[in-house]
Amino acid sequence: MLMQRVGAPMTPAPRARRVRRAAVAMAVRCLTALLGGYALTAVVATLVARLLPIARVEATVWGMIPGFLFYAVVGLWSFHEPKLSRVAGWIWGGTIAAGLALWWLGVRP
The Cβ of residue 103 has, within 10 Å, a number of other Cβ atoms equal to 9
Rounded to whole angstroms, how far apart are CA atoms 47 and 25?
31
pLDDT at position 50 is 94
Rounded to whole angstroms, how far apart are CA atoms 69 and 62?
12
For 36-89, the three-class secondary structure string (H helix, E strand, C coil) is: HHHHHHHHHHHHHHHHCCCCHHHHHHHHHHHHHHHHHHHHHHHHHCCCHHHHHH
Per the CB < 8 A criterion, the answer to whether 75 and 35 are in contact is no
Going by C-alpha positions, the residue among 69, 77, 19, 21 that lies closest to residue 48 is 69
* For the chain, percent of residues with pLDDT exceeding 90: 73
| pLDDT tens column, 37-82 | 999 999 999 999 999 999 999 999 999 999 999 999 999 999 999 9
| pLDDT tens column, 18-38 | 778 888 999 999 999 999 999
